[in-house]
Structure 1
Amino acid sequence: MTTVLFTVLGASVAAFGLALLSAVAGFGGGVLLLPVFTVLFGLRAAVPMLTLTQLSSNGSRVWLNRRDLRWPLIGWFALGAVPFAVIGGLLLTHAPLTPLKRLLGVFLIGVVIWRRLQRRPRTPSEPAFAAVGAASGLGSALLGSVGPLTAPFFLAVGLTRAAYIGTEAASALTMHLTKIATYGAGDLLTGQVLLYGAALTPATLLGAWVGKKIVGRISDRMFVLLVEIGLLAAGILFLIGL
């Protein structure tokens, strides 16, 4: 019993950090939390457990930023994300995860370099977000979190702060709901996963609320810089295999 309480406490602290970081930068918490959950629960349990935690984290960010959502982008994203999240969820028990994570790491670092070299990147069209959603849905279902993958595209259409955070969170929410349904069909939502997911919800809600207070105090330029730092950190973590 004592071991379980310490595990819940440690996971709650980590979940609070996920929600706080995600509320400030719009992403990144899941990438950092996945290694923690993997150590505590094992990778196959960690991915669906992380998804449950992200449901409350993303849901709270959507509510806190509801007035600034860009619904057309959310719709196009969901069009690609939902079917590919189903495919990724069904592949989870068999897919080789390490090569995919390292490839994603190279991509994220390359995106930051490209953004710095090309000061006026081409603005993607709204329908292009269906492809962004497809890649994100597949990768997220396999790896638990690929939030940094979507960040450059939401930034490229000019979203910052509340509009960026809320729109990205709403897009991710459609994907996470699909993943949960698929994991349930694949018997990955065990009693342990559901119990810990419920226990971690208060910490994620608190972290999202604190993060919302912080993001309102920083400039757009600083916000974009924080996102790029997060992209680099996530890319390095993927490359070294965490």
Structure 2
Amino acid sequence: MKDISVVFLLLALIAEIIGTIGGFGSSVFFVPIGNFYFDFYSVLGLTAVFHLSSNLSKIFLFKKGVDKKLVLRLGIPSVLFVIIGGYLSKLLQVHFLEIILGIFLVGFSLLFLIKSEIVFKPSARNAIVGGSLSGFSAGLLGTGGAIRGLTMAAFNLEKSAFIATSALIDFAIDFSRTIVYYNNGYIHKEELKYVPFLFVIGLLGTWIGKKILVYIPQKNFRKLSLSFILLIGIVTIVQLFITD
């Protein structure tokens, strides 16, 4: 455990548990947490590797709930745009994009929480747009699950279907961006010592999250997911001002 931050690993576990309960993955918490310990590009690399293990766990535990049609409509544009975002991450200034992301998450989650009767039609167009935005954000900023969570919350899926579908899409995204980040030089030898721990945390956090999820009624699930996304947006904005 020499030179390993136990506090960081505990925070990663909490991020994984909340990400499983919320259904949008741990990166929305893991990326802001990681930025306190590593440089931005190292966080991108670690997030992609960490997510591969956590999403494999979710696919295994929630596989019966996968919405195959939504996987195709959300997943294909997500994979295409995560590759584009991953390559652009090396070229663009991410600071202002992170601010925009934080404002977007706060604004839209508040809209859905205040106007709970708003539900997007489960159309191919809405799925493609949401998938494209979440994939691009995941490649560029390391986190796109919250945008995908907003899209899927609008579709008002049953909670098992929500988590299983989101995890399968996320796995495809992470597999694609891991290759891009590796080519970009974001996966460094110094951080690889965390990978075995993060792999175990991905499995354990998913399992704990599933156990907790049993006690959350379906009627409260959409509101809980949106509340988590609101918190993520606030944390993202506050962190940017703290680190300036």
Q: TM-score, normalised by structure 2?
A: 0.90
1:95 alignment counterpart: 92
Any residues of structure 2 matched to 1:197-208 within 5 Å, and which?
A: 197-208=195-206
Q: CA distance change for structure 1 residues 35 and 235 in 2, over 3 Å: closer, same or farther?
A: closer
Structure 1 position 88, deviation (Å): 1.3
Maintained 8 Å contact 1:28/1:230: no
Q: What letter is aligned with 2:78?
A: A
Structure 1 position 28, deviation (Å): 5.9
2:50 alignment counterpart: 53
Task: Give, in whole Å, the separation in 1 of the partners of 2:124 and 2:176.
Answer: 22
Q: 1:88-144 CA deviation, whole Å, 9 max, x = no partner? A: 111222321121122122222222233232614231313532222211111111211
Maintained 8 Å contact 2:32/2:239: no
1:82 alignment counterpart: 79
1:26 and 2:46 are equivalent in the alignment: no
Q: What letter is aligned with 2:132?
A: A
Task: Give, in whole Å, the separation in 2 of the partners of 1:202 and 1:118.
Answer: 37
2:66 alignment counterpart: 69
Q: 1:47-96 CA deviation, whole Å, 9 max, x = no partner? A: 11011111111221111100010011111222211121111111222321
Maintained 8 Å contact 2:120/2:126: no
CA-atom RMSD, angstroms?
1.8
Maintained 8 Å contact 1:18/1:204: no
- Structure 1 moving runs of 4+ over 3 Å: none
Maintained 8 Å contact 1:102/1:241: no
Q: What letter is aligned with 1:200?
A: L
1:151 alignment counterpart: 149
Maintained 8 Å contact 1:52/1:180: yes
Any residues of structure 2 matched to 1:5-16 within 5 Å, and which?
A: 5=4, 7=5, 9-16=6-13
Task: Give, in whole Å, the separation in 2 of the partners of 1:164 and 1:78.
Answer: 13
Maintained 8 Å contact 1:102/1:239: yes
Maintained 8 Å contact 2:21/2:210: yes
Q: CA distance change for structure 1 residues 28 and 180 in 2, over 3 Å: closer, same or farther?
A: closer
1:119 and 2:79 are equivalent in the alignment: no
Q: Percent identity?
A: 26
Maintained 8 Å contact 1:72/1:126: no
Q: 1:165-212 CA deviation, whole Å, 9 max, x = no partner? A: 111111111111100011122222222343322331111211100110
Pairs aligned (count): 239
Give ranges in structure 1 of 5+ residues lacking alignment: none
